[in-house]
Amino acid sequence: MARGSTRPTSRDVAQAAGVSQAAVSLVLGDKWRGRVSETTAERVRQAARELGYRPNLAARNLRLGRTRTVLLVVPALTTEFFAGVYTGAARVAARHGFGVVLYPSPEGVGPARDPFASAQAALDGVIASSMAADALTAIRGDQLPLVMLDSDPEGSLGAATVNLDIRDGVRQVAEHLLALGHRDFLHLAADIPSWTFHVRARELAARVGSVPGASLRTAAAPISIEGALAAAEAALTETGGAQGRPTAVVCDDDKLAAGVYKAVRRLGLRIPEDVSVTGLDDLALATALDPELTTVRLDSELFGERGMEALLAVLDGRTPTEGDIPVHLVVRGSTARAGA
């Protein structure tokens, strides 16, 4: 075929690669594994590239009854974490010819409204990050495949659940601080009724409670710097009497930690000499603080990738990859030995 004379077809790709049109359809539809060899698949892809072949997505979608569009629902767009989740999900989706619509729920972790006249008609599936499954009833309907991120795997309404190993992240924080000799802890907890924050509270209580003489107090705050400042200042002032002031403040989020920094300095204290502070996320904010924040690194892009891979597996009738995504403690200048 003379290049540029007409739009290349799958028959042209098949002839160039020396395979059947069925094989071309399998390879370019990413359904070739177990049906054609890797060598053949690469030959088809190479022929398609050389010919400049682009599949007719509209016709294929009509034939398959798919829109090749996925909705990613997040509680808010006020943190770079969810931007990373979107970036990872969109990267995997693009490789498979899918598009991703990002939808911040107007009610956060509460019920999400259907952003379309009918989500069932407009979407192939939904990925919901850090939300309760029952908050998505209006969007999911009774038919749409749903993958939950950062959610309770027990009793989930989703077809699959993908989680970061948040429990292990909190364990790493607690063991780091306990090894530094800290025994008086304040947990600045996110004032959000979601599974991931319940996990953090339970794990921290279990770790601190297992050490004789260690104590843990909790103060709740909205995830904002000003909210954390007010909650931390009140908690540190209240616990400055007979019980003793906490020597370590464990925060559910890096933004909360930034508020603690302001509260500590307002009280005339120093980090980490008087109070060690930890976060959880490893946002860009963590290295903008002085001293830089000890926190748990969550790979948000990998999180989004795994979520999209799980949804694609569900759509193809395959079993998604299991196992939580590892997280890592990053030790910086905001923690030191107790009494240092």
Its pTM stands at 0.76
Residues near 180 by beta carbon (within 8 Å), at least 6 away in sequence:
248, 276, 335, 336, 337, 338
Per-residue pLDDT reduced to its tens digit, 25-54: 888 777 778 888 889 989 998 998 888 876
Q: Which of 139, 255, 266 is nearest to 192 (CA)?
A: 255
Helices marked H in the chain: 10-17, 21-28, 38-51, 57-64, 80-95, 119-122, 137-140, 166-179, 195-209, 225-238, 254-266, 285-288, 300-315
Separation CA 64–CA 53 (nearest Å): 20
Which 8-state DSSP code applies to residue 36? S
Residue pLDDT, tens place only, 247-303: 999 999 999 999 999 999 999 999 999 999 999 999 999 999 999 999 999 999 999
Find out whether 207 and 168 touch, Cβ atoms under 8 Å: no
What's the rounded Cα separation, in Å, for the pair 304 and 282? 16
Q: Positive or negative, the Cα torsion across 77, 79, 85, 88?
A: positive
Looking at the DSSP bridge assignments, the partners of residue 72 are: 102, 127
User: What gap in Å lies between CA 246 and CA 236, rounded to an integer?
Assistant: 7
CA distances for 100 relative to 7, 15, 123, 127, 163, angstroms: 27, 34, 10, 10, 20
List, for residues 177-228, the tens digit of each pLDDT value: 999 999 999 999 999 888 899 999 999 999 999 999 999 999 999 989 999 9
| Interacting residues of 68 by C-beta distance below 8 A, sequence separation 6+ | 57, 61, 97, 98, 99, 124
Q: What tokens appear for 30 in the block?
A: 């990413």
How far is Cα 296 from Cα 93, in angstroms, rounded to an integer?
27
